[in-house]
Amino acid sequence: MAKTPMAATYEAIGAHGAAVDPDVALMLALARGDESAFEELVARHQSRIVALIHRFVGDEAEAEDLAQEVFLRVYRTRDRYQPKARFSTWIYRIAANVSLNALRSRGRRRNISVPLSYEATETQEGQTSAHVEDAHADRPGARMEQEELRTQVREAIDQLPENQKVAVILNKYENLSYDEIGAIMGCSVMAVKSLLARARTNLRERLAHYMSTGRMRQSLA
Amino acid sequence: MVGGRDFVSHRAVTGRNRRVTMEPNQPMCRRVRENLSAYLDGELKGTARRLIEEHLAECAECRAQLDELKETWRLLDELEEPIVHNDFRREVLALARAEAQAEQIAREGGRRSVLAGLAASAAAAVFVFGLYASSRPLSDPPTPRQREAITYLDLLENVDALLCLDQARELQSLGQSMEASPAAAPAATATKEASGV
């Protein structure tokens, strides 16, 4: 019996071919000129993509701008779209690349505009904890403490090397498996395991001051 | 899922029945700590997971490490979840439509350019062919028949005059003969009118 176009499509997806991916079907409908399929794709993914990018850049307005760019990139490829992986894998990869590019260009701007003393605190490993401790010498109210903690978490993630940052965000906030992260990042499961192990170690050192339990908090007190 | 092969093979070397005590077991602790992250993420299955759990049950240091990693991961929950702007989808769709229209215009513009280009190419081809055709007799060597024609070109151009001259000579000789014989004169006059000489 001849294969249907959709069956052939899913077969082409490879390892994920057995799973029905409605996003791939929508993308193929868009490729055939069904513009409503794009609207459906945006509706299905906008929250996750904006949130994902927000984890990288830390600014809501910028996250929305970059998410728009992600969806436009998806739209632009509609005529030559070939489903080789799950749609979510593909769009996460685009989102991660767009985010990292934005951070790189921001980093170039920061190198010009940020005072040297602040920059030194930001870029040297091992300095963050001391910086945090100084900032909390005079503890403000609970709300400000919460805000401060949020800022420190944000900075701790920002200071991770790029590949560790991507792995952490995809694993922690998107609940993706090592296999899925590897597919998005284009690396092996073992590499993802290594990245996440090192990222956890780095984050633990940088956030030690805020741990409610454990020896590291005691040692800093 | 991450395979626990390294971890398992290490355990095999150290001996499955070896009892782990609270004393620091450096190689074992190192192996366990390398795998704690994957263990927390649920990426270790089967034997690898069981060996980690057995070690954690007996090693306070590694349990403390595990607690710190858990706490670190929990702190990451502090980051706020952004609320997507209500108009986000509408704006994306508007931008996409604008791009599609721009592509359409570019494509149509491209078609017009192609047609204009084809017309210009055709005109240029006709012009070039005209130049070529007009220059060809000058540039190509003449054929034998053409050479012969060129040789007798002057003769051919004046053939009518020569014919008239022949006729004039005939008339002249006819006139001379009529002077000698007057009966032939009307016929000679008629011939002269017909030739327009």
Domain boundaries, chain B: 5-78, 86-140, 154-195
Q: What pLDDT is attached to residue A140?
A: 53
In this structure, chain A runs to a length of 221
Q: Is residue A144 part of a domain?
A: yes
Q: What pLDDT is attached to residue B156?
A: 61
With a pLDDT cut of 90, the percent of chain B lying above it is 30
Mean pLDDT over residues B16-31, rounded?
60
Same domain for A87 and A159, yes or no, is no
Same domain for A29 and A61, yes or no, is yes
CATH of the domain at A155: 1.10.10.10
Average pLDDT, chain B: 73
Measure A188 CA to nearest chain B CA, in Å.
10
Confidence band, pLDDT 50/70/90 cuts, at residue B106: confident
Report yes or no: A67 and A102 within 8 Å, Cβ to Cβ.
Answer: no
Measure A89 CA to nearest chain B CA, in Å.
17
Contacts of A45 (CB under 8 A, 6+ apart): A23, A71, A88, A91
| Domain that residue A39 falls in | 1-113
Q: What pLDDT is attached to residue A98?
A: 97
Q: Is residue A119 part of a domain?
A: no
Q: Is residue A28 part of a domain?
A: yes
Contacts of A78 (CB under 8 A, 6+ apart): A27, A30, A31, A38
Measure A167 CA to nearest chain B CA, in Å.
12
- Distance separating alpha carbons of residues A143 and A148, to the nearest angstrom: 8
- B56-91 tens-digit pLDDT: 999 999 999 999 999 999 999 988 888 888 899 999
User: Which of A113, A148, A177 delimits the end of a domain?
Assistant: A113
Same domain for A153 and A108, yes or no, is no
Cβ-defined contact of A207 to B72 (cutoff 8 Å)? yes
Same domain for A30 and A70, yes or no, is yes
Q: In terms of Cα–Cα distance, which of A83, A109, A106 is closest to A21? A: A83
Q: Where are the beta strands (DSSP E) in chain B?
A: none
CATH of the domain at A83: 1.10.1740.10
Of A43, A150, A213, the CB nearest to B71: A213
Cβ-defined contact of B79 to A157 (cutoff 8 Å)? yes
Q: What pLDDT is attached to residue A203?
A: 96
pLDDT tens for chain A, 221 residues: list them: 444 444 444 455 544 443 578 999 999 999 999 999 999 999 999 999 999 999 999 999 999 999 999 999 999 999 999 888 899 999 999 999 999 999 998 876 665 543 333 233 333 333 333 344 444 445 557 778 888 889 999 999 999 999 999 999 999 999 999 999 999 999 999 999 999 999 999 999 999 988 875 444 444 44
Measure A111 CA to nearest chain B CA, in Å.
25
Same domain for A26 and A84, yes or no, is yes
Q: What pLDDT is attached to residue B135?
A: 59
* Residues in B touching A51 (Cβ below 8 Å): 81-82
End-to-end Cα distance, chain B: 119
Q: What pLDDT is attached to residue A213?
A: 52
Per the structure, the count of domains in chain A is 2
Q: Is residue A221 part of a domain?
A: no
User: Which of A80, A113, A146 delimits the end of a domain?
Assistant: A113
A64 touching B, CB under 8 A? yes
Residue ranges of chain B whose CB lies within 8 Å of a chain A CB: 1-2, 34-38, 41, 43, 64, 67-69, 71-73, 75-76, 78-85, 88-89, 91-93, 95-97, 99-100
DSSP string, chain A: -PPPHHHHHHHHHGGGTTS--HHHHHHHHHHTT-HHHHHHHHHHHHHHHHHHHHHHH--HHHHHHHHHHHHHHHHHTGGG----S-HHHHHHHHHHHHHHHHHHHHHHHHHHHS-HHHHHHHHSTT-HHHHHHHHTSS---HHHHHHHHHHHHHHHHHTS-HHHHHHHIIIIIT---HHHHHHHHTS-HHHHHHHHHHHHHHHHHHTGGG-SSSHHHHHH-
Confidence band, pLDDT 50/70/90 cuts, at residue B161: low
Q: Is residue A219 part of a domain?
A: no
* Residues in B touching A157 (Cβ below 8 Å): 76, 79
Among the residue ranges A93-97, A178-182, B47-51, B125-129, the one predicted with the least confidence is B125-129
Report yes or no: A164 and A197 within 8 Å, Cβ to Cβ.
Answer: no
